[in-house]
Structure 1
Amino acid sequence: MKPILIVSNGHGEDTIGVALGKALAALGYGVEAVPLVGRGLAYEEAGFAVWGPRKEMPSGGFALQSPKALWADLRSGWFSMSLAHYRAVRWVARQALATLVVGDIYALLVGGLLGRRPLFLVQCRSTLRALGRPYSVTERLLMRRAMRVYPREPEGEAWLRARGVGQAVWLGNPMLDAVGEGSFGVPPPYLLLLPGSRQDAYESLPKMLEAARLLGDLGLKPVVAWAGLPLEPLPLLGWRLEATGERQGVTHRLCHPDGTIAYLARGLLKSLLLGSRVAVSTSGTAAEQAAGYGVPLVGFPTSGPQYTRAFAEGQKRLLGAALLLVEPSPSAIAQGVRRFLFSPKMQAQARSDGRAAMGEPGAAQRIALDLHRFLM
């Protein structure tokens, strides 16, 4: 059977693309992917064919947030890389059955203009709850080219339908299905550290680790959900990084002379979420997945490119009491964690708000079945 082409633009979008790809593969479809941001490791690890350049840009996909970020990407070859992406989309589209876009307006523009129709869109980033008016006129015009548009929340369906996108339908949020399963090997409870998949991680993880040292009396095992960034640039003053030789699960241990051990993990996020009492986060998708699984979050702003103060405040509007924002210092982070752990009322409200914002698991299968109806 001809494959379905998935076009996505971000690490979180890639993991959602993998969840959708697995659901489509279970229905008998082939899946091939062109990730427009980053190296597409999630697709590769899932066994899907990945096309186009596999390069990390300095902005991590947030080039339009500032002139400095845009210039850094341009100097690093963004223009030639993007042309190669476009060629890859057109090449795969020639033999594809349909195009599934997972992402925002840029992915929709590329997939919609260069991909193979019919076109389907999973809009997993924009949210009325955080932005109020998430979709521009241009984006809505592009959406009208799609056979189906799957927004991330029920309010999105009504909002889009009222503005001329009649093919919008809400079937749930596939973010909650984009979590790797399997046995982690380190018994809970965990203090989950989510530094994110962009360059912010190199700034935020050292602060998270120092906060974990301040929380040593709580009996929580610090576990870093690492998104696959190179470890060489990570500043680890006082910590020793030990490789375990594993590709999934615990790939490294971070050891401090005071006896603190933090486990650096790849994949198996569901096991981590189910075993975590609280998470410290400067991430996008992973934070929202944690909130959906009822894990309270302590977040703090970075200098970017992703988890700036504005981004953090937008995520707070989305997640409500599930996210507590603090200042970017180890002591403030540790204090925020203690506030959650010693307040059953805060924990209960965090679970309620997180699940209200994220919905229930199973959306990837529902979307795949809906898409299948149009391709039969």
Structure 2
Amino acid sequence: MSDLSQKPLLNKFLEQTSRLQLLVLSNGHGEDIIAARIIQELQQLSLPPDIFALPIVGEGRAYQRLDVPCIGEVKTMPSGGFIYMDSRQLMRDVRGGLVQLTWKQIQAVRSWVKSQTKLGNQKAILAVGDIVPLLFAAMSGANYAFVGTAKSEYYVRDEVGLLPRKSKSARWENFSGSIYHPWERWLMSRRRCRAVFPRDALTTEILRRWPIPAFDAGNPMMDGLEPTFTNPVFDHGEVEDPEIIRPMIVTLLPGSRANEAYDNWEVMMMAVSALIDGFREPEVVFLGAIAPGLDMDILSQTLQTMGWQQRDQSSVQVADPQALCFGQKNADLILSQQSYNEFLHWGDVAIAMAGTATEQFIGLGKPTIAIPGKGPQYNPAFAEAQSRLLGSSLILIDQPAKVIPTVQTLFQDPDRLQDIAENGSKRMGKPGAAKRIAECLQERLT
């Protein structure tokens, strides 16, 4: 009888000791979000792993929202993670303690692996981002998997062949036959690297030329974008069929980095003014998808300076009670920090000066007009690289006034719009990537 009573306890002990212990590494705000989406899918598995995290850049708020414990020391660097676009940002981070922090984090990963080994637990590491978390994982001594968010073969080639480049230094990007350099491929081809998840099918195809366990699971950036409301609601009084007079909808994506986004917003408002003055349609609606960390008052002041008047109601009803509505001539403009998914889906075209948001909008099969700013993120070099990544879907203009002929030409060419729709899906993938990655991780890491 006593043996039978102890069986459930024994089974519970065996389940705990056989459960995978997974440490997730990521190096950036966007990478944290992608990692969090994969974690959510891992937690839905029949035997989910015990999950820990180490955000190498920033404080890992995405993990905090999931109640995933973080190991090691975390700290926000002065650059906010944009060291790759400006060497001065890197030096600021070095002066801010980057080297010491990195060493402490490497030691924390090794200590975590050793502690799990002493307990006799299965252990593995999931690295999300670029070579930094990948290197941390390779140095840990545990099995690992890698979700590559930073690189894509589309930066240097398309399905036809290599892209023409003006700079001789650009050859460095593809000198070894892949956007991933030999040392990165070496880390991905180690015996302990059990799975690699590139961001698109083309990159997966190229990596498979080497002994790399690459899987085309899609891009988690396209997950979690389902809108609460499928279609916008228009208020046109007594009109029975509002679709007949549906206005053109332009989504505005100024970015999420505070000071830069405010500068971007001023540039975008010049493009908006030009569009209103030159647009012949009876009405146009602008939807400002504003990051939660931005100050709406600053954005509103810019609008009022440029002649926009705040209104109590708008022609588009959104579910955000805090949304701000403005009007000018034949146009409405709505600012919301809670309607991101809706604004992505409702827009016919976007004016963008953003990273992730631009890619997600294009992934929905829609065209985007981009205006390079001063940076540190959305500067001319970043925008040019993003245009290679996203192909025909991203149209770069060098001054706000050029938005008018660009829009007019774009919407007079249905074949081009169809090509953009297909291109966006091909380059960014279909939703459901996080679940596919989680299922593959369960199979490859346990």
| TM-score, normalised with respect to structure 2 | 0.71
Which residue number in structure 2 is paired with residue 201 of structure 1? 261
2:335 to 257, 263, 267: 263
Aligned residues: 367
Partner Cα separation in structure 1 for residue 69 and residue 327 of structure 2: 40
Partners of 2:274 and 2:403 within 8 A in 1: no
C-alpha contact (below 8 Å) 2:290/2:335 kept by paired residues: no
**In the alignment, what sits opposite 1:127?**
152
Aligned to 1:349: 419
Q: What residue ranges of structure 1 are gaps of 5+ in the alignment? A: 243-247
Alignment correspondent of 1:226: 290
Bigger mean CA deviation after superposition, 337-346 or 232-241: 232-241
1:22 Cα deviation from its structure 2 partner: 1.3
Q: For residue 62 of structure 2, what is the aligned residue in structure 1?
A: 42
How far apart in 2 are the matches of 1:332 and 1:46?
Answer: 44
In structure 1, the residue matched to 2:7 is none
1:175 alignment counterpart = 221
Q: How much does 1:363 deviate?
A: 1.7
Q: 1:374 to 1:353 in 2, by over 3 A?
A: closer
Give the corresponding residue for 1:296: 367
Q: Once the 2 structures are TM-superposed, how far is the Cα of residue 178 of structure 1 from its aligned partner? A: 4.7
Deviation readout 1:235-285 (Å, 9 max, x if unpaired): 76544699xxxxx9575537578885431324x543332211111222222
Preserved CA contact (<8 Å) 1:18 1:42:
yes
Asked if the contact 1:202–1:233 (Cα under 8 Å) also holds between the matched residues in 2, the reply is: no
Counterparts of 2:361 and 2:98 in 1: how far apart (Å)?
32
The residue type paired with residue 175 of structure 1 is M
RMSD: 3.4
Opposite residue 110 of structure 1, the aligned amino acid is F
Residue 102 of structure 1 aligns with which residue? 128
Q: Secondary structure at the match of 1:168?
A: coil
What SS class does the counterpart of residue 12 from structure 1 fall into?
Answer: helix
- Give the share of equivalent positions with the same residue, in percent: 31
- Secondary structure of the 2:127 match is strand
Shift of 1:287: 1.6
Contact 1:11 1:197 in 2 (8 A): no
Which segment is superposed worse, 184-193 or 36-45?
A: 184-193
Deviations 1:146-194 (A, max 9, x none): 111111222323322323x331222222221153653599747742222
> 1:167 is aligned with what amino acid?
P
Moved more, 148-157 or 254-263: 254-263
| Deviation of the 1:136 alpha carbon | 1.2
CA deviations over 1:299-344 (Å, ceiling 9, x no partner): 1212222223222222222222211100143x23455344434543
- Residue 281 of structure 1: aligned partner: 352
Normalised by the size of structure 1, how large is the TM-score? 0.82
Distance of 1:92 and 1:232 partners within structure 2: 42
Give me the whole-angstrom Cα distance separating, in 1, the residues matched to 2:64 and 2:383: 30
Shift of 1:123: 0.8
Superposition pairs for residues 244-259 of structure 1, below 5 Å? 253=324
278-287 vs 195-204, which moves further = 195-204
- For structure 2, the residue ranges without an aligned partner over 5 or more in a row are 1-18, 117-121, 158-173, 235-247, 311-318
- Whether 1:157 aligns to 2:193 is no
Q: Deviations over 1:92-143 (max 9, x none)?
A: 55458321111111221223324x7221101122111213531112211221
What code does the residue aligned with 1:368 have?
A
Partner of 1:211: 271
Q: Which moved more, 1:53-62 or 1:8-17?
A: 53-62
- Corresponding residue for 1:166? 212
Cα pair 1:293 1:355 within 8 Å, conserved: yes
Distance, in Å, in 1 between the alignment partners of 2:32 and 2:421 is 26
Please say if residues 37 and 434 of structure 2, whose CA atoms lie closer than 8 Å, have aligned partners that are also in contact: yes
